[in-house]
Amino acid sequence: MNVFDSPPTRPLYRNFQDGVLPPNFCPSYVSSVKRSPRQPLVPLPQTVSELTGPTFAPPENIQPVDLTKGPHGQALGERILVSGRVLDEDGRAVAGTFVEIWQANAAGRYLHARDQHDAPLDPNFIGCASLVTDTKGRFAFETIRPGEYPWRNHYNAWRPAHIHFSVFGPAFATRLITQMYFPGDPLLPFDPIFNSVRSQTARERLIALFDWETTVPEYALGYRFEIVLRGRQETPMENKP
């Protein structure tokens, strides 16, 4: 089955709105209080190597990445299929883009030494992968729906289920980072990171769309997530290059 046979379910064009980029200083996101700069940022000249690479040859057809198969068996949790495209502001495909993804496991824990959440690790789930978009800007991967986890930002603070995306674009200097959320998550209204994007319309672009066409019977639900770089309908990012 081709996971891209179904037409896009979200219009590509909307008027650009303020509030797409989250502010550096966001008091409700407690750690930003000490980390955010107090003075205007000073742009620095970029070197040729920063602006010209690396480049990746896009594959003709998308090669889905599977995060669910571990060294000793299948990862635990609800299987999901995530597919989408990387686009520019005019809806044109961005081919050959290096994309990184990482996430918590089904219990809400990352495979990282600094994650001390009292939840089990899954020996068959590493929770990270990389891929390159094809000639049509497409990507696809199979994974486990990540679990929610507490993060001590405030009393009874829980992060909603999310998957991190890093998109490098034409050069390392253009790297953008964002998070994909899931529709209907009851934690979204309470999450200061999600709500640091002030525009409601922009926040909606961070929520994946359930995709019936890519859902596999008795196996996995499908979700569609499209990433728009800059300009009209740009996807909100955590950083600003």
Q: Considering 29, 138, 149, 181, which one is annotated as catalytic?
A: 149
Cα 144 to Cα 69: distance, rounded to the nearest angstrom: 10
Q: Considering 29, 110, 181, 223, which one is annotated as catalytic?
A: 110
Is 162 among the catalytic positions? Answer: yes
Answer for the pair 68, 75: CB distance below 8 angstroms, yes or no: yes
Is 232 among the catalytic positions? Answer: no
Q: How confident is the model at residue 18 (pLDDT cuts 50, 70, 90)?
A: low
103-131 residue pLDDT tens:
999 999 999 988 889 999 999 999 999 99
Quick one: CA dihedral 191, 196, 200, 202, positive or negative? negative
Q: Given this model, what pLDDT does residue 235 score?
A: 80
Cα 19 to Cα 28: distance, rounded to the nearest angstrom: 16
Question: Which pair of tokens denotes residue 199?
Answer: 């525009």
Burial 141-165 (b: 16+ CB within 10 A, else e): bbbbbbbbbeeebeeeeebbbbbbb
Cα torsion at 25, 108, 176, 128 (round to 10°)?
150
Q: Is the predicted pLDDT of residue 10 greater than 50, yes or no? A: no
Q: Considering 109, 138, 159, 205, which one is annotated as catalytic?
A: 159
Tell me yes or no: is domain 71-229 CATH 2.60.130.10: yes
Enter the pTM of the model: 0.85
DSSP letter for 59, please.
P
Q: Given this model, what pLDDT does residue 19 score?
A: 66
Is 181 among the catalytic positions? Answer: no
Q: Given this model, what pLDDT does residue 17 score?
A: 52
Q: Is the predicted pLDDT of residue 89 greater than 90, yes or no? A: no
Report CA Rg, the chain: 18
E-assigned strands of the chain?
65-66, 79-88, 98-102, 128-132, 138-144, 149-150, 158-159, 162-167, 176-181, 209-210, 221-224, 227-229
Residue % of the chain over a pLDDT of 90: 52
Question: Which pair of tokens denotes residue 158?
Answer: 């829980």
Cα 180 to Cα 138: distance, rounded to the nearest angstrom: 16
Domain boundaries, the chain: 71-229
Classify 3 in phi/psi space as left (phi over 0), alpha (psi -120 to 50) or beta: alpha
Determine the straight-line distance between the first and last CA of the chain, rounded to whole angstroms: 37
Please tell me which residue, 45 or 6, carries the higher pLDDT value: 45
Which of 6-10, 58-62, 201-205 holds the top average pLDDT? Answer: 201-205
Is 175 among the catalytic positions? Answer: no
SS3 225: coil
Q: Considering 79, 85, 162, 205, which one is annotated as catalytic?
A: 162
Cα 95 to Cα 134: distance, rounded to the nearest angstrom: 5
Is 223 among the catalytic positions? Answer: no
Q: Is the predicted pLDDT of residue 238 greater than 60, yes or no? A: yes
CA 140 to chain centre: 12
Cα 5 to Cα 22: distance, rounded to the nearest angstrom: 34
Answer for the pair 86, 99: CB distance below 8 angstroms, yes or no: yes
